[in-house]
Structure formats: structure tokens, C-alpha cells
Structure 1
Amino acid sequence: MFRALAVAFAVVLIAGATTFLALRPIEQVHSSTPVAAAPLRATTTRPTSPPTTTAPPTTRTTTTTTTTVTANPVSVVENFYAAINERDFATAWALGGRNLGRSYTEFVAGFDGTVRDDLTVTSVTGQTVYVSLIAWQTDGTPRYYSGWYTVSNGEIQHGKLSG
């Protein structure tokens, strides 16, 4: 019974593929020399005998799994500084600047005189990212800092820089 179904399925599959290939449009090739198209031949294969039985109805069960994805702590800290370098302080604030103990106005003012921050992640322990930072000033001088940020749920929760 199973063998007869398998043979019937294979025959139908081959017939369908052959029909598809025979009916699809031929791609035109552009060249300076005319090329004659080869004649197309369609071949149809029919089963020698119809299947005598049908498979019993099947029941499909669908299971949905919800997974909470937590942002990588390093990515959060890197995105925080990328936003600062782009002067997108609202994004930096949302990534955890609001959890660093200053008002939004004080947070933004803290970057006055800074042209760019070059961040280096020195190590990671669990959710804590250790960094060193060069804050390039408008007069071209660097200021060096090191510290850490703790990340949870895609947001910096705590942090400290010393320089």
C-alpha cells in the first residue's frame, strides 16, 4: 500500500515538473549573432494504474513558543556610544543614559566640548561590560576614561567612568 502511494506520488511529481519546464518562457539571450531556438517537446507521464487506497486523514498540531530575546550587553554599550557620537542623545538616553544619575539636560551637557568618543570593550563578566574610552575634545586633545556598565533587558542600568 505504501509503495503504491510512493510510486503514484513520484509519477505525479515528475509529471508536474515536466509540465512546468515545458510551459515556462524561454529566456532571450542578446547577442550580435542570431541564435535559433531549439524546438520544445513536452512529455507527460501517466501512472499505469490508479492508487487503490488513500491515506488516512492526518491531524496537524501546532505549538507556539515565545522566546524573549535579551540584547547582548556589549551591543547595548556600543550602541549607546554610537548614538552619542551621532549626537542622538534621545537614543543614548533610552539605552540607559537615564539610569546614570543625571537629568537629561545634564546628560547632554556632559558631552559639550567632546567631538567623538572612541570606545574599547576591555572585558565582559555576565551583564557587566568593562570599557576604556578616549573622549576627543574640540581642541583636539584626548581625555582618557575607564569604567564599567551593567546591562539588563537591553538597557544600561548602572555605570561608572573615571578619568
Structure 2
Amino acid sequence: MSDSLATATFAGGCFWCVEAAFKELRGVTDVTSGYTGGETENPTYEQICSGNTGHAEAIQVTYDTDELTYIDLLRVFFTVHDPTTLNRQGNDVGTQYRSAIFYHDEEQHERAQAVIDELEASGTYDDPIVTELSALGTFYDAEEYHQDFYEKNPNQGYCAVTIPPKLDKVRKQFGELVTQ
């Protein structure tokens, strides 16, 4: 990995939605949908959906630190999902849909905590932020059909309704970070 490439791991509900938003950003070289934060080794999507594995649907973002900062990614993350709902994003309910930041090192942990503290102090949200901060354990890539799901299936019902408003929000609030 190049010295200017870094990785961040986020869970903010359905990974199709979060993946699509991060793919909009310049400097993002890869986004992989997967599972982390649980106990089951090599979990399948069906196992994750049961809510019994402890994993969250998550994404790993590889990005160029010459183009984007981890703080930039955190700000986008907190914009594309509701960090105040425990184990829920919209109609998706269960621990697999929790809001979580899986930090790779202490610096990411400190920056994530600082952004959460800043958001709490600013009153951005009416309710407290419940985003879990956890050290990254094993990240398992999701099945191939989940990768680039929105890009491959923009007219799929869930995607067509849920993802475009998130993309519009990112483009509006973070236009300077979006690929032209």
C-alpha cells in the first residue's frame, strides 16, 4: 500500500447505502462491503441478517490521504446515516445495522471521538449519538453480489428509494470532496 493510502471502516446501516456515498468522494480508491464486529468466523449474509453473529454490515474505505483526511470521511459518515438510533437505520432494524466506527489505530480512535464530541456539543442532533467506537477486529468481505451493489442495481426498489437522497446530501454538503 502506498504511503498516501489509508483505510477506514464504518458501519451505518445497510452497506449498499454507505458504500454508494463513499464511492462519490475523490481520493477514494476502493470501497469494500463486508462484516465486522462479531464472533462468527467467515459469516455469510444470511447469518448476518439473523442478528445473531454480532457483526455489523460495514464498509472498508481505502483512500488517498493526499486527497482526503480521516476527518473528511468522518464528516461524510455522520451525514449519510442517523447516528442517534440504536441498532436501526430507517426500516433496517437489528445489531447488524448499528452505527459504528471500527478504528484501525489510536489516532483514528481519538479523531473519531473528537468529531463525536464536537457534534454533541454543537447540538447537530436532537438525540445523543449512539455510534459505537471499537477497535477493528477481522473484516470479512461480503459476497461478491454485494460489492458495488448500487452501481450495478440502481433501479432495485430499496436502492432507488434510499440511496439517491444520501448521494444528494453528500453532493450538496461536501461538493468540494465529490468526484467531478
TM-score range, shorter chain: under 0.3
TM-score by length of 2: 0.23
Q: Larger C-alpha radius of gyration, 1 or 2?
A: 1
TM-score by length of 1: 0.24
Relative contact order, higher structure (CA 8 A, sep 6+): 2
